[in-house]
Structure 1
């Protein structure tokens, strides 16, 4: 019943108000979800530069697994939301069940591979032998629990596809709060609990994932949004194939980010452990500064997919342009706030002057490009929502490996780490122009085809 009401709202209510109503709960949820990394970084930073650098080295690897989960969530949301738009509820419910099974199997296989190849992977990233024991302490627990990470993410995608963005946000928030509570207890010890260092940070995340799994499965069952009974003409494999058709390119596009981050980490490693630690902090700051972008990238696709399912492409075009305009304005405000807070932010995450200075340099330069980077991310999610995942994949390739990594590296050759950051901003601007023109061209072609029918 709730899904039907939400679906009608997505198809008929005013676009701006509907997007805001869908997005504000996601902002809250993502803020707490991102707090996993930020809180971990803060408390681990109190242990010293080496533990902070070790956890910073794990980011490209952990984000690879997270990216697969996000990609599968994108495929899940796009397929299910289109079914709701076309009034095919039974197919939507079965696809939700198929997505949960598929994601658990794929993430388990990827994590097993990462666990077995842990040492050579981090050696390739440039981690020193002194950091390797700390990295193994953290990642051994993280890999074991990663299957518990993906289930709430896919469950939340099923809920969002039905038009419900509030419940997934509450689930994400509960996980973030639990992580923040258990982090200091397990990292530094408390009463009978021994100090576990970086292992404690990983274990705190694991505990929060367990709670997330229990919550999301209970809610999906209660709202009757998943069913293991296949509708006529549908099989488990056919549902999985539909999800994979969008999910795999989307996951591949997302996995390009940690691959690019791995290359960037290797480049920055040449500047020493303080630079790596500062870049790790900068990555967490970027995550926080991009909360609005990430929230819209989750709330916009169900809106677009349901309207595509109902054949309402004019609403798709209006929603896309409304989202981009909002992001450009809001990210400008965020940049000004970051400038004003640069000193206390850097001081909060580092106890060494060398790290502090590079963190502030990151804040002065990189957030200049977050608005246009947001345009690229929203275009990417919009391509997936209209079931054009290959275009989304190519856009990610263009952003990261045609522009971002080459421009950043060239900038580093010209002006060291200052130039590296400036190159990243230029790369995001160039990609945003291409993304906007490309998506509008695809929409015009689709509208022309619809008019000709």
Structure 2
């Protein structure tokens, strides 16, 4: 592992472009697959669409834990690679993989045991709970597969090469798109399975992708060093991971928790608005795809440059990225405004859902430029070993601003009043994020476990 991808030496714009384009293709394929899921599930009816929408906060909480672990892994590996501690990086990755598997397997078992009370708390009715159970049973069983897959992809990105993760994600998406209609609606001797079929298709796609990922990480790239059990080393590495992973996990969990609260608010007004909100979240992921792809590239770029003692280069990349996402996402709103009604009718024909979703797509994306800056800056703070600041930024955005404004909007203007709270919050926090980014600096080394201190023996 060296600087063959130019993270430390080549022009910043060119490096980030070369890293982001494969990320963009991979994420686009996966999110496109997610939208195909919603398209087919929407054909099953509004109840099925609502059921899957209710699952988003829970699935995103588990995914957020893995994303937090991935952030800790990416930051530590980036610094280790930047400072040429390659063998330490391989042992560190081995310990993180083991930790991820244990944590997610335990949480999945807990989830399986609490499906009905958990989703009942979110506001799902008896009919919807039956559909949710069909879907989440298979999702929880395969969650450990997804976790190892996601962490492995972060390890590959930390090396500076974003092409393999993109190919892995594409393989999963292609399998899912092929299996979705077959398992949901049936084909030949295969009976229609409905929501169960959608969950099974997703699980199989993750398994196929994990097979490809394992080959690349273990055999072709040899990124993992299998180390003998040493409790002192394991605890040291887990602590180094946790320094970033704990606040990063909390940061990522806040969003699905906030979405869950909003969904619970909506469920007590109209289940059609829940279906619209859940579909809108999926569409939003596609609309913010460039932001997510660039953010995934920027974190290892900053981490490696900080590890190599180049903080000015790291900050220059951050500010350049913030300006880029703001301009791009603002310009993308223009075609979205004129195509919102067309997009809405791709997913549903229910008049109420159409009304809510169309409003969502016209109003909320007005602040996606500002939201993009929040996302990029928050993720970059992890690379700066300032995860608590990242956590506080999102706590402020979601808990102190969004939820109170959403509750006020619901009282004053119903569902549409609630939805208006989202762009207002994002605009305010986008301004705050850019101001803070201009002041960000390399932290004192006493504030974090230095990369070369990660234990090996």
Same fold judged by TM-score > 0.5? yes
Measured against aligned partners, the alpha-carbon deviations of 1:315-371 in whole angstroms (never above 9, x if no partner) come to 111101110111011112221121121121111000211111111100110001111
Stretches of structure 1 lacking an aligned partner (at least 5 in a row):
none
Counterpart position of 1:412: 410
Aligned match of 2:192 in 191, 195, 205?
Answer: 195
Q: Contact 1:183 / 1:204 at 8 angstroms: preserved in 2?
A: yes
CA distance in 2: counterparts of 1:169 and 1:351, whole angstroms? 34
CA distance in 1: counterparts of 2:158 and 2:427, whole angstroms? 31
Displacement of 1:411 in angstroms is 1.9
Counterpart position of 1:24: 21
Counterpart position of 1:129: 126
Residue 443 of structure 1 aligns to a residue whose secondary structure is coil
Residue 4 of structure 1 aligns to a residue whose secondary structure is coil
Measured against aligned partners, the alpha-carbon deviations of 1:219-240 in whole angstroms (never above 9, x if no partner) come to 0121111111379998222222
CA distance in 1: counterparts of 2:159 and 2:228, whole angstroms? 19
Give the structure-1-normalised TM-score.
0.95
1:118 corresponds to 2:131: no
Q: 1:227 to 1:424 in 2, by over 3 A?
A: same
Measured against aligned partners, the alpha-carbon deviations of 1:197-235 in whole angstroms (never above 9, x if no partner) come to 000000000001111111111101211111113799982
Q: Contact 1:383 / 1:391 at 8 angstroms: preserved in 2?
A: yes
Measured against aligned partners, the alpha-carbon deviations of 1:133-187 in whole angstroms (never above 9, x if no partner) come to 0000000110011001011111111111110101101101110111111010000
Counterpart position of 2:234: 236
Residue 12 of structure 1 aligns to a residue whose secondary structure is coil
Q: 1:233 to 1:124 in 2, by over 3 A?
A: closer
Residue 438 of structure 2 aligns to a residue whose secondary structure is helix
Measured against aligned partners, the alpha-carbon deviations of 1:122-143 in whole angstroms (never above 9, x if no partner) come to 0110000111100000001100
Structure 1 segments of 4+ aligned residues over 6 angstroms from their partners: 230-234, 444-447
Displacement of 1:445 in angstroms is 7.4
Give RMSD over aligned pairs: 1.9
CA distance in 2: counterparts of 1:375 and 1:404, whole angstroms? 17
Q: 1:233 to 1:283 in 2, by over 3 A?
A: closer
Residue 401 of structure 1 aligns to a residue whose secondary structure is helix
Moved more, 379-388 or 233-242: 233-242
Give the structure-2-normalised TM-score.
0.94
Q: Contact 1:46 / 1:351 at 8 angstroms: preserved in 2?
A: no
CA distance in 2: counterparts of 1:440 and 1:116, whole angstroms? 47
Q: Contact 1:48 / 1:351 at 8 angstroms: preserved in 2?
A: no
Displacement of 1:446 in angstroms is 6.7
Stretches of structure 2 lacking an aligned partner (at least 5 in a row):
448-457
Q: Contact 1:366 / 1:425 at 8 angstroms: preserved in 2?
A: yes
Counterpart position of 1:106: 103
How many aligned positions are there? 445
Counterpart position of 2:54: 57
Counterpart position of 2:39: 42
Counterpart position of 2:255: 257
Q: Mapping of 1:291-302 within 5 angstroms? A: 291-302=289-300
Aligned match of 1:305 in 303, 325, 339?
Answer: 303
Measured against aligned partners, the alpha-carbon deviations of 1:16-73 in whole angstroms (never above 9, x if no partner) come to 1111111010001111222343121111000000011011100000111111111111
